[in-house]
Every structure is written in C-alpha cells, then in structure tokens.
Chain A
Amino acid sequence: MEKTTKPGRQGPDPETLLPGSSSLAVLLVVFTAVSFLVLFSIVRGGVGHVTESEGGRQAFGPADVTGVDFDHELLPGTEEAISGPDDGNFLVPPPPWSESGFFPCSECHSEMEVNPEHRVLEEMHDDIVLKHGPKDRWCLDCHNPDDRDVLRLVNGRLISFDESYLLCGQCHGTIFRDWRQGIHGRRQGYWNGGKSYLLCAHCHDPHAPAFHTLKPLPPPVRPQFLARAAQEEVQETPDE
C-alpha cells in the first residue's frame, strides 16, 4: 500500500539518465584512468621499480665471493676408498675440536675430581651454552666421567669422539639412518665410489645443534640491469 502512494518511483527516472555530454565526460575519465594505470605499470616494471638498496644490480661471479672454497680438495684417500654399502666403510675427517685445543681432555681432567652437580661453569668451558633437548641435560649425559677422552652411550658403552654419531643416533634415530644411507649430510667424492662423510658435530654444535644462519651469496642480475647484453655487439673475443 505504501509503495503505491509514492509516485515516480516505479521505474528509472528519465531525468536522471545521462545526457550525451555527461557520458562523454565519464568515458574521458575512464580512458584517462586506464592510460595512467598502463603508464604506471610500465614505469613500475622498469629500472625505477627497484630501490637502490635492493640487490640484483651488479653481476657478481665466483671470484667476487670470499670465504667459500669452490676448489675444495677431497679428503686424502677418497680416490682409493671404496664405500661399503652397509658396513659404513667411508671416510670421516677427524672431529672438529674447539680452536682452543682442549683435547685430550684427560690432560686436565685426570687430576680433577668429578663434580656431578648441575651448575654454571665459570672457570673453564664458560663459552659452552647448552641449547639441546630438555633443561636438565648435563655434561655427563654424554661425556664419560671417569675418562674424559671418550664419550659414553646410554647403555654404558664407551666410544671415541670419532664415533660420536653413535651417540647422536641414540635419540635421532631416523636422521642417523638417513645419514648412514647418504641422505642426511654433505657428501664429497664419488657417487659410485669413495666418498667422505662428516660427523654430526662438523655441522651441528653438539651443545647447541640448531644449524646456524648464513649470509646468502649475491642475487642474480635483474633483466633491466643486464646493460651489456642490451648493447649491440658489445665486445671482442678475449683473445689478447
């Protein structure tokens, strides 16, 4: 009932429809907007889109990279070594001793009394921060109290530092299995012959085993900065 009482609301009002000149104006506005958008996208795609601080402006090569040994030598003996499929007949470099040259541990520890108390180390080894597993983890969980030059497995078996992977494998069983099969860890040498394995401790600090972050090598050159390629017939063969 209410609707019918309002006149002029039944359909589009012919008065509000755009006359010719207004529609032209609207078209013009749309056209300008689109061309601005296109222009903007062209500019964005160009050199100005990349801020000065962003990488990819310069072509770096391996020679510009310091601290990475691209010409690494294989471990002595890799050429001759034949890797056994199951018995782990492969090369492992010696364990990475801390640079202060603590080993052999018995040099100091043989004359010291064993202190099993959990405490903050102050006089020695104060650089070691334990960030590995549960909070109550303590030195003597892995290090053997009676002879510090060896490690001790949970079952009481004593192992040398060269076999420390056995100790890690007690908890990290799946990764230990992958490591033996060659899936976990870095390999160098021959895919069909001798290869070098690394101990867990070569890459993971046993006291704080999370892998550390690295500075990435420089990014590739962005296409808009491939200046030399854009020039025609840029250079001669480097004969001279």
Chain B
Amino acid sequence: MSEKTLDRRTLMISAGLTTMAGISAAASGKSAGWVERLLKRRFVELSDQRREEILAELEASCRHRYGRDDITVGDTRAMDGVEFAYGLDLSRCIGCRRCVYACVHENNQSRDPQIHWIRVLEMKKDNGIDFAESNVYYDPEEVPEPENFYLPVACQQCRNPACTKVCPVKATWQEPDGIVVIDSDWCLGCRCCMSACPYGARHFNWTEPTIAADEINPDTHVFGNRPRPKGVVEKCTFCIQRTRKGRYPACVEICPVGARKFGNLLDEKGEMRYLMREKRVFVLKEELNTRPRFYYFFAT
C-alpha cells in the first residue's frame, strides 16, 4: 500500500545524526546554528540561550567580514500591543528619492549590484495610478514636475501576505507586530516569494553584496539589516532594528516634506488612527486581498 512507514535505515541514520549533533553541540558549546539547521529547527523555535549563542556567532562573523568591532546583531522582540502601520501622503511626496538612499544607508543593502528596497514611481496626473505607464528612472533637474505625481513603493507588510505562503521552508513569516521578516540563514534563494509578491518588494542578492566597511550600519537586527550573504532574498522590514526600539524608520525621518507617517495602529490616540479616521486612505491593489499595512492617503 501507499502507507508511509519509517524503515530501519532512515531511523538509524536520523538517530545517529541527532546524537552526533547533540554531542558536538554540547562539546563545542557554540556552533553558529549548523546543528539546528541539521535538526531542522528554526531560529525562532530555539531557547533564549541558544539564540544568544547564535547571535554572538553571527556578530563575530559580521565583524570579521567587515573588519569592524562595533557591529552588533540583535533580536529585539515585538512589543506587546503594537501593530505597526505606515502612512504615505501622496499629496506631499515630491519624488526626491531621499528615502531610497536613506534606506540603503540604514539597511546595509548592496551598493553594486544595486539593491533598492524603495522604488519611487513617477506617474502622470492625467492618468492617475497606472503601474504599466509609470517610470522609476525619472531624472529631471528638479522635482516635483507639475504634470507628475510620485508613488513610492516598498514592502506593504500585508496582513494576508502571498510571499510567506509560498515559501517552501518557512524562511519568511509575519511577526506579532505585523512585520514580515526573512531569516536569511534559512532562505534557500528559490525566489518563489518574489514571484508571489504583487508589489515587487522583494529583492535578490545575485552576487555577494558589496558595501564598503565604513558604510556599514553597525546597529543590526537578525531579521533585518544584518549584512546578507549571496543568494538570499531581502526586503523592507519597517526598519525593524529601529522601530522595535521606538525609533521612526529611516525613511520617515529623512523625508523633507514629511509625507511619511509611522505608528502603532492599536494606539487610538496615535497618528495612524487619526490619519485613517480623517483622511482619504487607500491601499495598493486592494482587489488582491493582501490587506496591506501600508496606507496611502491624501492629506489635502
């Protein structure tokens, strides 16, 4: 029959492997997580102590890779009673791309080949929101141009994300505060999530990312801006290393026109709730039922 049985051979191999892994983990005390990888245990399932050890290992390897002693890798957890949401005022955005580069600066994206988590789409006011006719390569002397408006797009941090569902190894998931994160140690690089995402928000490291050592942002989070290896997918995490400590994301602070808003959706007095009550708010590609936490609005 087609009944699944555990044969003797498989049993012996897996038992042997488990024992070996256990012994070596106990003997060495630290192992950068390869034992867990062998045992198919993900980072989030580990004990606090084991996480600490793995973080220390990651930190050491990052420090070695860039020759800097100040790089830290944290795993700050989600705060209780917090669900992040983002607002972007389309009537203010002037398309200056300050946010794009502030993001690269903050989140240690590869400089060449270039990876940008935020892409600013230039669109004609006459045509409205039309992705097919939009242009990300615009480069006039000065922005805004009177006939155009600008629509920055990054990860929409969906409540019903298509990307996490297609991942064959659960390397990407939604955190309790709503941030969709990737464990780049666990990512296979199959890029299924990239094809599933309707917003083009995920980006692939086709080669070893290049960042000059003095340009590295040393304050990193294990699921966020820690330097990534070749062959993994990366994306916007609402600056997880900042926002979980209470800070605004880098793009919010750099925006010269204050078009970018960020806050806790569960805080009734917060700016996000005010915004959703008082302004004309919409999400991108609503018909796909991804239910983004990224709200576009018109303040005037």
Contact = CB atoms under 8 A, between A and B. Distances in A.
Interface in B116-155: 116, 119, 136-144
A184 interface: yes
B60 to A, nearest CB: 14
Interface in B242-258: 243, 246-248, 250, 252-258
Contacts of B142: 213-216
Interface stretch (B1-9, B183-191, B209-217): B209-217
B143 A220 contact: no
Nearest to B140: A216
B294 interface: no
Given A60-B101, A182-B263, 10 more contacts: A68-B98, A70-B105, A183-B261, A183-B271, A184-B258, A187-B248, A189-B247, A216-B140, A221-B113, A235-B207
A190 interface: yes
Interface of B: 64-66, 87, 89, 94-98, 100-102, 104-106, 111-114, 116, 119, 136-144, 206-208, 210-213, 215, 243, 246-248, 250, 252-258, 261-264, 267, 269-271, 274-275, 278-279, 299-300
A234 B264 contact: no
Interface in A217-231: 217-222, 226, 228-229
A213 B145 CA distance: 9
B248 A85 contact: no
Given A62-B102, A191-B246, A229-B207, A181 B271 contact: yes
Given A186-B255, A203-B257, A213-B94, A54 B243 contact: no
A54 B138 CA distance: 8
Nearest to A211: B257
B96 A185 contact: no
B104 A229 contact: no
B210 A235 contact: yes
A39 to B, nearest CB: 23
A219 B139 contact: yes
Nearest to A185: B258
A62 B215 contact: yes
Interface of A: 54-56, 59-63, 65, 68, 70-72, 85, 174-175, 178, 181-193, 195, 198, 203, 211, 213-222, 226, 228-229, 233-239
Contacts of B258: 184-187, 198, 203
B137 A54 contact: yes
Contacts of A59: 111-114
A214 B65 CA distance: 38
B58 to A, nearest CB: 15
Contacts of B64: 239
12 contacts: A54-B137, A61-B215, A72-B253, A178-B299, A182-B261, A183-B278, A191-B246, A216-B96, A216-B138, A216-B139, A219-B136, A238-B213
A83 to B, nearest CB: 10
Contact of B248 (A65, A188, A215, A216): A188
Nearest to A69: B254
A226 B114 contact: yes
Nearest to A57: B137
B143 A216 contact: yes
A40 to B, nearest CB: 20
Contacts of B208: 234-238
Contact of B105 (A62, A190, A215): A62
Nearest to B97: A217
B141 A187 contact: no
Contact of A182 (B65, B207, B271): B271
B97 A216 contact: yes
A219 B137 contact: yes
Instruction: Please provide the 5 A-B residue pairs with the shortest distance between their CB atoms, ordered closest to farther.
Output: A55-B139, A186-B258, A182-B271, A59-B114, A62-B105
Contacts of B139: 54-56, 216, 218-219
Contact of A181 (B94, B106, B274): B274
Nearest to A231: B207
Contacts of A193: 246
A186 to B, nearest CB: 4
Contact of A220 (B119, B252, B257): B119
Contacts of A238: 65-66, 208, 210-211, 213
